Structure 1
């Protein structure tokens, strides 16, 4: 499959598929293909037994015996696919990040609620008692009592067209009582009020701008989540191969330490039979000490890589001291790289951060549309229609609504701040922010092209280094074999053999590092081009290009 033919999957939850570009795991029980150093013909002590210490070794204070194993706890066998799957299931930061699109989506519901119908109701009661004093003598004061109960209910809604609609139903009872008579009246009314914005607030695109911005924010959060998931998968793969490299380096140092011990024992045997001077032992001892020093560092690096990998995958049943057995074996056979232009084209379409920048520009365009309304004055047309009924009871009052009585009102409302500095400032800020987002998008596209090309050249460099380091390692094996032959026939020195062993060790480490770094470089190239999740068969939101007009 070429870089321009990657499959497009629907947006679903994260699901791990088969990793398409990684090598198959080695069969169970099969050892990793680490080249073994040339063997010596001299008699060797049984494996695992430390050679007999000499006076020179005791004088130098070199430790005797094997180094203790650094890891304890239960074992955990992992392939790189297993590591990625565990991270997608159990990584704490991913679990927290996965909630962000849902949280952002709630703001979309808030903006949508602006246009939802609203039911309202109100009830009130009032009572007033008044006493009127007269100036005439012996005339009692006049007492009057008035009370009123009123209830109103209705439905109102704002539409994207700038129209406000309100439908009301109300009923009231009024009573007036004095010393002479009592008057009671029941009133009912049905009314409809329409208010239409004629200037500010009259455009549909302006009224829907906030809702559309909320939808854009939700889409931005999806792309941000995809970018986080890609970074997590890349980190897990990088950490996995770092652990594999540290484990292989540790194995190489252990083998080289064993070879140095054998060389030391052979040197001691030749010194005992008088074939070599005693000064030759110092070079062999120094080489053993160097191998121990490198082995200590390699084991420490392996422990750090193990802890980092455990932290990323967060296995539920594992502990910090759990051992990890890596199933996947690095192989020197790598496929040719796809053209850099293909990766650039994919990056322009699929990079999550680039799509986020496009959506930020779209959000800025909506802000320009929204703030443009603030430059206009407020001019609203309102119409109120109603019918009322009057009777001596509530039932009769509602039946009287059908009579000829009615009321209506029509008018205009106008308002505009003098100078309108706030509206002009908002509109100007929106235009400048949109220009800033556009420049940021152009800059992001340049950075994307730079990142992809740098990642491609790094992947190509590590690919070429695999063949170069392999050739160097083969030649160093031949050099070591030559020096060992010269040492056996008496024309070489232990120092020359030690130097050849050291050069072979470095070449083996360089070859293994080149193989691992190429795997990591490919992962980084796929992440920079925005195709890592697609290549690994992982479905996540944001797998299409975000379109915007600019």
Structure 2
């Protein structure tokens, strides 16, 4: 096998990566070969696609994020239920029985007595977007009492009697309260829901970003493993060259054409190569275990990576910025902060006003005492206004009032400045990332050319050594230079694919790049948790 064929074989074993952005205008599509990870005889065959899918499927941090998402989604549901009716039913029951002993002079009696009462109350409260509250209350009560008494009527007359009372009442009331100043208005009353929705959007972006970071971590572990594997192969090839050189030198020494001192250089190079080979094996085993730990798989598995074709990606800055301004989490967080500060400022201005409420209501009560008495009925219609007008001229209350307004205005301006700064930072980061991708591709080509030249230099030096036109030291030096060139080429490959990952993370398109469906929540997990707690929600004993 000639040198060019050997070199081609070495290049084909270098770490390869395919990268695209979700937007086809930015990056070329990468091969969509969705192969499933297979384990044969304790060896796990892995591609980049499978690293991504195994990360999403196996890594427990993914499950943790989706568990947290269940409570976050419920917080939004709770906030959006603000204008849904609140219905409560309260019931009460009390029963007592006792024996009463009574005595007057020498007369006495034992009388059983009892009392019991029951009540049921239903209430419906409905908040409306204008700030008003509509409420309905229906209160029902029933009680019975039985008792015995002794009374002294004269010189010796003592009478015994039993009493029995019963009372039932039913009352219902409907009432409307509508603020006219403080607490009034659709904007003010919808503010809490708008803030909750913004928080939920921020949580969704955070979930997407966390999943993207897990994917990138898995890919980086994979790249580190492939780099360690390539490094091991390079060190093995270097050791083989050193051993062949040592054999040649020992043969020349036996023929009297080389001194023993010259052979020492080759022997030292072999010893150094064996040390480097052991270090490479240790690094490979560590990288293998780190990758399997991230994938949460059997740490004793061996890994066989699949080589992929590398491609030149030339992202366009303007198009990248358009994507980043819509997807970048850090920038979107500042956009949300501006909206939140405007809402909070509006609420602070509303809450400084006096409390002026318009009230109206109707109430009806029906009562019946004992079976022989007639029932009574009362009704009441009411309407009016209620004003609470604190006038804080000086002191803590006035300063606190001023502080709230001042803080709200400061936060508004601060949020706008931070948004402007965030956009500038994003422009710089995207520009650097785009330039870095282009530059590292050029460095790959330069590193490949350097490796080819170093290999050619070594071949020429070996030819010179055979005819005695160079020293053993020079050959060993060129061997070391070739090893360093090969390692540098592998490092440039890793740097290139990492630059692509960084750009993808900035654009917020990692999930789309790897064709991973981004779910805002895990519906099956949510259903399982709700089924678990549902019996506890609807039972009270």
Compute the TM-score of the two structures, normalised by the length of structure 2.
0.75
**Could you list the per-position Cα deviations for residues 294-315 of structure 1 after superposition, in whole angstroms to 9, with x for gaps in the alignment?**
2233223222322221222212
Secondary structure of the 2:260 match is: coil
In structure 2, the residue matched to 1:221 is 203
| Counterpart Cα distance in 2 of 1:94 and 1:182 | 69
Is the aligned partner of 1:411 residue 2:384?
yes
Residue of 211, 215, 231 corresponding to 2:213: 231
- Please give the alpha-carbon distance, in whole angstroms, between the structure 1 residues aligned to 2:93 and 2:448: 93
- Structure 2 gaps of 5+ residues are 1-18, 36-40, 97-114, 154-162, 521-541
Across the aligned residues of Structure 1 and Structure 2, the Cα RMSD in angstroms comes to: 3.7
Matching residue of 1:106 = 74
2:434 to 456, 462, 485: 456
Instruction: Give the Cα separation in 2 of the matches to 1:193 and 1:413.
Output: 14
Counterpart of 1:323?
A: 302
**Which protein, 1 or 2, shows the higher relative CO under an 8 Å CA cutoff with sep ≥ 6?**
1
| Matched residue, 1:471 | 449
Q: Secondary structure at the match of 1:279?
A: helix
Question: Does the 8 Å CA contact 2:312/2:441 hold for their aligned counterparts?
Answer: no
Residues 395 and 280 of structure 1, relative CA distance in 2, 3 Å threshold = farther
- 1:340 is matched with 317
Partner in structure 2 of residue 65 of structure 1: none
Structure 2 CA distance for partners of 1:6 and 1:377, relative to 1, 3 Å: farther
Q: Which among 456, 459, 462 is matched to residue 484 of structure 1?
A: 462
**1:98-177 residue pairs with structure 2 within 5 A?**
98-115=66-83, 116-121=85-90, 151=119, 153-159=121-127, 160-170=129-139
CA contact (8 A) 1:264 1:281 kept: yes
- Mapping of 1:34-433 within 5 angstroms? 74-115=42-83, 116-121=85-90, 151=119, 153-159=121-127, 160-170=129-139, 188-315=170-297, 318-319=298-299, 321-329=300-308, 331=309, 334-389=311-366, 406-419=379-392, 420-421=397-398, 422-433=400-411
Q: CA deviation at 1:171?
A: 5.0
User: In the superposition, relative to structure 1, how do residues 91 and 194 fare at CA in structure 2: closer, same or farther (>3 Å)?
Assistant: same
| Cα separation, partners in 2 of 1:6 and 1:417, compared to 1, 3 Å | farther
Shift of the alpha carbon at 1:289? 2.2
Query: Using the alignment, how far apart are the partners of 2:499 and 2:200 within structure 1?
Result: 32
2:52–2:514: 8 Å Cα contact kept in structure 1?
no
Q: TM-score, normalised by structure 1?
A: 0.74
Please identify which structure carries the higher strand content. 2
Change (3 A) 1:186 1:158: closer
CA shift in 2, pair 1:455/1:183, >3 Å: closer
Q: Which one of 26, 30, 36 corresponds to residue 21 of structure 1?
A: 30
Q: CA deviation at 1:365?
A: 2.5
Alignment-derived partner of residue 496 in structure 1: 474
The C-alpha deviation readout for 1:94-138, integer Å capped at 9, x for no partner, is 2212222221122223334444323244769999xxxxxxxxxxx
1:434 positional shift: 3.2
Residue 512 of structure 2 corresponds to residue 534 of structure 1: yes
Rounded Cα–Cα distance in structure 1 between residues aligned with 2:369 and 2:473: 124
Comparing 278-287 and 165-174, the one that deviates more: 165-174
Alpha carbons of structure 1 residues 244 and 192: separation in structure 2 relative to 1, 3 Å: same
Match of 2:501 among 523, 528, 538: 523
Measured against aligned partners, the alpha-carbon deviations of 1:460-494 in whole angstroms (never above 9, x if no partner) come to: 12201122112212222221121111111122211
Would you say the 8 A contact 1:152–1:168 is kept in 2?
no
Q: CA deviation at 1:445?
A: 1.9
Task: Name the CA shift for 1:533/1:241 in 2 (closer, same or farther; >3 Å).
Answer: same
Retained in 2: the 8 A contact 1:188–1:394? no
1:539–1:363 Cα change, 3 Å:
farther
Give the direction of change, closer, same or farther, for the CA distance of 1:188–1:485 in structure 2 (3 Å limit): closer
Aligned to 1:130: none
Are the aligned partners of 2:165 and 2:369 in contact in 1 as well (CA < 8 Å)? no
Paired positions, count: 459
Q: What displacement does 1:168 show?
A: 3.0
* CA distance in structure 2 between the partners assigned to 1:504 and 1:291 by the alignment: 13
Shift of 1:411: 2.2
Equivalents in 1 of 2:222, 2:452: separation in Å? 27
Give the CA deviation at 1:78. Answer: 0.9
Measure, in 1, the Cα distance between the counterparts of 2:48 and 2:425: 30
2:20·2:513 contact (CA, 8 Å) conserved in 1? no
Q: Partner of 1:413: helix, strand, or coil? A: strand
CA contact (8 A) 1:162 1:204 kept: yes
Q: Deviations over 1:9-42 (max 9, x none)?
A: xxxxxxxxxx94369799xxxxxxxxxxxxxxxx
Question: Contact between 2:21 and 2:504, CA under 8 Å: does it hold in 1?
Answer: no
CA contact (8 A) 2:169 2:366 kept: yes
SS of 1:99's equivalent? helix
User: Using the alignment, how far apart are the partners of 1:394 and 1:423 within structure 2?
Assistant: 60
- Mapped to 2, the partners of 1:126 and 1:298 lie a distance apart of 84
Greater shift after overlay, 498-507 or 295-304? 295-304
Match of 1:439 among 412, 417, 420: 417
